[in-house]
């Protein structure tokens, strides 16, 4: 067996409009939550938490950016670009930690990345965020989108969204 096989059936992301992202991602998070908890318990720690928000708050913030809400940054010292960076880092890390704890062994980092970017609503949200954020009037958001939002190895997916 190659790649990442998910024994818990995740709903196939059906995203007709930008506002569907929150619903679709939270539908994925529910079945993955026990794996995330298992990862935290097994490792005795998590790398999630840089943003200071839970996954739902981060997803709502990122979906808001996609809908054009650049005023959502009320995070004190963080610029809009920095807030997007820590929110995407937390969401991506949450998914990777959950998937890494799945039953049946571990997948390669490439298989995890291909799964996240190619088969999850969260990955699709990040891909769709790239263009509007890279064209934003906010310089910090523009730079963040161009620098780290979509890893170089996954940028080929930008043309298929």
* Domain span at 30: 20-160
Residue 135 domain flag? yes
Residue 9 domain flag? no
Residue 11 domain flag? no
Residue 8 domain flag? no
Number of continuous H segments (helices) and E segments (strands) in the chain: 6, 0
Residue 3 domain flag? no
pTM of the model: 0.86
d(CA 75, CA 79) in angstroms, rounded, equals: 8
Residue 12 domain flag? no
Residue 1 domain flag? no
d(CA 55, CA 78) in angstroms, rounded, equals: 18
Do 66 and 18 meet the contact criterion of CB atoms below 8 Å apart? yes
Do 150 and 122 meet the contact criterion of CB atoms below 8 Å apart? no
d(CA 58, CA 68) in angstroms, rounded, equals: 15
Residue by residue, pLDDT tens for the chain (161 residues) are 444 445 455 555 566 665 678 888 988 999 899 999 999 999 999 999 999 999 999 999 999 998 887 665 555 688 999 999 999 999 999 999 999 887 765 678 888 898 899 989 999 999 999 999 999 999 999 999 999 999 888 888 888 76
Residue 116 domain flag? yes
Domain count, the chain: 1
Return contacts of 142-148, CB within 8 angstroms, 24+ apart.
142/81, 143/81, 144/81, 144/82, 144/84, 144/85, 145/81, 145/84, 148/85, 148/88
Backbone angles phi, psi at 16, to 5 degrees: -85, -30
Local structure of residue 38 (DSSP, 8 states): H
Local structure of residue 75 (DSSP, 8 states): -
From the centroid of its chain, how far is CA 114?
13
């Amino acid at each position: 067996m190659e790649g990442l096989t998910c024994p818990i059936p995740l709903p196939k992301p059906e995203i007709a409009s930008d506002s569907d992202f929150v619903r679709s991602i939270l539908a994925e998070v529910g079945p993955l939550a026990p794996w995330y908890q298992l990862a935290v318990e097994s490792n005795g720690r998590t790398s999630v938490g840089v943003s200071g928000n839970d996954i739902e708050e981060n997803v709502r913030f990122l979906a808001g950016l996609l809908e054009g809400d650049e005023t959502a940054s009320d995070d004190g010292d963080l610029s809009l670009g920095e807030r997007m960076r820590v929110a995407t880092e937390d969401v991506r890390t949450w998914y990777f930690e959950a998937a890494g704890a799945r039953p049946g062994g571990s997948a390669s980092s490439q298989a995890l990345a291909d799964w996240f970017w190619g088969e999850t609503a969260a990955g699709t949200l990040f891909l769709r965020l790239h263009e509007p954020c890279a064209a934003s009037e906010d310089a910090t958001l523009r730079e963040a989108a161009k620098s780290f939002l979509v890893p170089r190895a996954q940028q080929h997916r930008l043309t298929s969204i």
